[in-house]
Chain A
């Protein structure tokens, strides 16, 4: 359920983190004059080795300008970067929802079921379970192998363990059977609405 986005997000966050960490540390090494104090040397063309070095000298900044390929390459790199970042940002905002589920009849024929219909049935059956106040179901995955993301709001005095057992054995099992799937993977989250403590005696 969102496995690809999770991996992409985590890899890109780690990459950004590593770049920032490397940048920060190398400036700190130069700023505190560590190569001289601790007697080690940085690579020959390392920009920040002594405290008097500047972050980005005019010479360094403009060194590529004389080349004819410099500006096209800068523009192309920035353009690609902008497109990739835009895609990454939009991927966070988009929530994948399965439009339809493929129901196999077993003899090579198949039918398409609207995803929303299956979601509604699952929601209704889950919400009717004792101890459940509200249920929200979203289908994800592919239409031949859908996955359900279930969010349950429990009533006060509900027992989460038994509620989950009944959800698995009844609502999810019925849905799996009705669309003739081998299995219907599900991710369930249980919450409770905040309520005041009530005294019994």
Chain B
């Protein structure tokens, strides 16, 4: 119910501003758009989505499998009386003759260290940064909205504000930034309307944590 009421607001307001030309009263209503939406949390805290890490796990598994498989094959071949493959001799020679302060070894060791740190960070961070968790209304239903989708929804909202020629909406994990170009109407009025339209839009995204909003309006470049 409350959703339908808020859905109506921008159109009502747009009509009044395009008709009346906008005054201080209009600005006041747009500032009120920062009110948080009515909390309907019934399902408790919405946690982050934790990625399965399929791709890195697959790559690591594939590389390790190739190395172990090759070594197994060659060891077994040598046991069966075949000559060892050339790479094994070269590798053994290299390992036995290169000192650890060799530049190549130091570079490789640094790389291996960084790779280790990276794998550990992949293992302990949630990932899925492109997915914003949505408010939980049911304990068993978890939902996430892609950041790009949120950006498109908000962009469509912003394009409905009269005077807006083009708009770029960047949705971060904590903040929504909108950069609009207005080719007519007072910039302050456009900004006020954008504030309220995007504020409404953000509430309708149904996110667990309402992101902040910053709106910038400029005139289009001449020329």
Contact = CB atoms under 8 A, between A and B. Distances in A.
B101 A10 contact: no
Nearest to A60: B96
A114 B174 CA distance: 42
Interface in A137-155: 154
A195 B105 CA distance: 51
A180 interface: no
* Chain A, interface SS category: helix
Contacts of B98: 54-55
Given A54-B99, A201-B162, A192 B149 contact: yes
Interface residues of A, number: 77
Contacts of B198: none
Interface stretch (A24-32, A101-109, A115-123): A24-32
Contacts of B153: 154, 157-160, 192
Interface in B72-109: 72, 75-76, 79, 92, 94-102, 105-106, 109
Nearest to B125: A10
Interface string A1-12: 010011001111
Contacts of B58: 89, 92-93
Contact of A164 (B51, B76, B100, B134): B134
A63 interface: no
Nearest to B56: A13
Given A28-B110, A92-B61, A53 B146 contact: no
A156 B85 CA distance: 60
B164 to A, nearest CB: 9
B178 interface: no
Nearest to A87: B61
Contact of A20 (B7, B57, B72, B119): B119
B187 to A, nearest CB: 17
A55 B156 contact: no
A114 to B, nearest CB: 23
B193 to A, nearest CB: 13
B123 A24 contact: no
B31 interface: no
Contact of B123 (A10, A23, A189, A194): A10
Contact of B109 (A24, A53, A74, A185): A24
A16 B71 CA distance: 18
Contacts of B215: none
Interface string A166-190: 0010001000000000011111111
A82 B148 CA distance: 40
9 contacts: A12-B60, A23-B109, A52-B99, A54-B95, A160-B153, A164-B143, A165-B206, A189-B144, A189-B146
Task: In the A-B complex, list the 10 residue pairs whose CB atoms are closest, starting with the nearest.
Answer: A161-B206, A21-B116, A17-B119, A24-B113, A20-B116, A51-B101, A24-B112, A14-B123, A17-B120, A192-B149
